[in-house]
Amino acid sequence: MNVMLRFAAALVVYAGLLASGGATAQTADTVLFNGKILTVDKDFSTQQALAIGQGRVLATGTSAAMKKLAGSKARLIDLGGRTVIPGLTDGHIHGIRAALTFGTEVNWIGVATLKEALEKVRQAAQTQKSGSWIVVAGGWTEEQFEEKRRPTVAEVIAAAPDNPVYIQHLYDWLLLSPKALAALNIREDADVAPGGKLERDASNNPTGVIAGNGNALGKIFDKLPKPTLNEQVDGSRKFFREMNSLGITGIVDGGGVSMYPASYQAVFKLWRDRQLNVRVAYHLCAPTPGSELADLRNLTQLLPPGFGDDMLHFNGPGEILIWADWTDGDITPDGKAKLYDLLRWAAGKGYTIQLHWNPERTVHDLLDVIEAVNDEYPVRNLRWAILHLYGASEDSLKRMKPLGLIWGVQDGLYFGGERLQREVGAEAALELPRIATAFKLGLTVAGGTDAHRVSSYNPFVALQWYLDGTTIGGVQTRGDAEAPSRRQALEMYTRNTAFAANEDDKRGTLEPGKFADLAVLSADYLTAPVKEIGKIKSVLTMVGGKVVYAAAPFENVASDSGEAPPQAPSLRAKRSNPEAAK
């Protein structure tokens, strides 16, 4: 059953709920009332209350009308005027990877000073065993620090003299303490090739700083000791609860660097044990450069499009399809041919894909390939997404529209806006990314973070950046003319990302028949000053009507599992496919 048919069926089932008298044969087990419910339906309507039954939205309307739907044992939650939004879905995040080490890494996301960041390393050294690794795997930049600089090797040694320390900055810089260099046996540039280069002091000795790209840093990261499966499961549980505290109820995971079949076992265990509290649509990258198509053919033999259930399903290949051209250099003729073969195969199978592509200067090559594939296998309804592409021109966006391509715009320039200004000039940067233009052209623009190595996973930080174009360092690099409206920005993180996950018939809006995935906010998203939006959190998060996170004043709202809600951070129907490519 396709998306429209499934949604139509849901509307038939719940049509009676919107009768003028509000009467229905099905009673609500939960009613949220006295609030501001942003349904994010096609009219962006606002209601006072929402009724939930068996994990789905029964109806929205006035508080009095929704209370009439409540059963005798229904849970009535007074919102006290607070705003409720559909649960947010990060449309491109490396959440499964981040979750694996969330319980064992040192996190610098949102830390305001370098002094505080180094103190976190010092505290880890005091609490961990001597000789154990201390890892900061990204999610920070010097622009966030009051000192406006990165740590030195001497400072890291002082903070953790007895531990090997790994500190990664985005995908361009790495600091290894002397114990880390020795443990990894890194002495020459050849040890960090291809793509890496050792910084050396006046005596030609490695300092511990490595300049590199994603390939180089990813290979070094793969050499670090891995957490045990139990530690990975515990980290995943903590990470997804952290996401719930920010109103996240779903993610589209992009696979990515350092992701192999074994990397998915922790999230699979949470899923099997029914402990997964974020809906996961995951993509797979080919693990071996040079044999991408063969790898993906093999990995997906038992993974038809959409395989899984309402909590976890396979969404298709991506984001890295051809490793040789992933690092944003000009695509080679051989790479272009391999990309065509892989995309043709994916289209023939009916797979949704995510495509990592940054440079506007070469996106015409990518669009040439997609148009050629489209001549044989129409791709318009496959929900293919081009990710990043912050410099997309209006002409490129116009070419994307008839192909049905989603533009996945993450908040990477919140961290890298100043660099963009240096590369293209401050005046040109004012137009980038062209989000308002994309909406005017009718493209589906999906929000996300690309976290956690290159950015924060906080969706409200991303929403604030979409609206004001101001970097973490306080510099407004994008002008207001290309800013989306507050409505459009919220749609980017709800209905549009649910569309990218192939679940817009089930979630993404608070309409009758859809899952009761929602977040009650600490402040009103529509009226809060833009500069304050990044500080918003959820005070009550539900997935399928079940409480997965609660904070004051809702900390006493009982969870559906019978346990106190966390205070801190049947297989789905297969979509119809075109004939398989030979």
Which residue has tokens 């994916």?
346
Residue 560 has a pLDDT of: 52
Predicted TM-score (pTM) of the model is 0.90
Q: Given CA atoms 406, 278, 573, 510 in this order, what sign does their dihedral have? A: negative
pLDDT tens digits, one per residue of 275-327: 999 999 999 999 898 999 999 999 999 999 999 999 999 999 999 999 887 76
Peptide bond into 287 cis (omega under 30): no
Q: pLDDT tens, 172-182?
A: 999 999 999 99
Q: What is the pLDDT of residues 394-427, one digit of tens each?
A: 999 999 999 999 999 999 999 999 999 999 999 9
- Compute the average pLDDT of residues 72-82: 97
Residue 183 burial by CB count (10 A; 0-12/13-18/19+): exposed, middle or buried? middle
Average pLDDT over residues 121-141: 94
Percent of the chain with pLDDT over 90: 86
Paired residues of 267 in beta bridges: none
Dist. CA 437–CA 433, nearest whole Å: 9
Query: Which residues are paired to 387 by β-bridges?
Result: 356, 408
Whether the Cβ atoms of residue 263 and residue 100 lie closer than 8 Å to each other: yes
- 420 near 432, Cβ under 8 Å? yes
Count CA within 13 A, CB hemisphere, residue 481.
7
Query: Which residue, among 364, 389, 515, has the nearest Cα to 443 in the 3D structure?
Result: 389
Q: Is the pLDDT of residue 566 over 70?
A: no
Q: Which two tokens stand for residue 313?
A: 């399903």
Let me know: does 197 contact 186? Beta carbons within 8 Å: no
**Sign of the CA dihedral running 144, 147, 152, 157:** negative
Spatial contact of 120 and 111, defined as CB atoms under 8 Å apart:
yes
Q: Are 414 and 449 in contact (CB under 8 A)?
A: no
Task: Return d(Cα 385, Cα 326) in angstroms, integer.
Answer: 15
Give the model confidence (pLDDT) of 506-542 as tens digits. 999 999 999 999 999 999 999 999 999 999 999 999 9
Closest to 576 measured CA to CA, from 355, 354, 351: 351
Arithmetic mean of pLDDT over the chain: 91
Q: Which two tokens stand for residue 236?
A: 């995943």
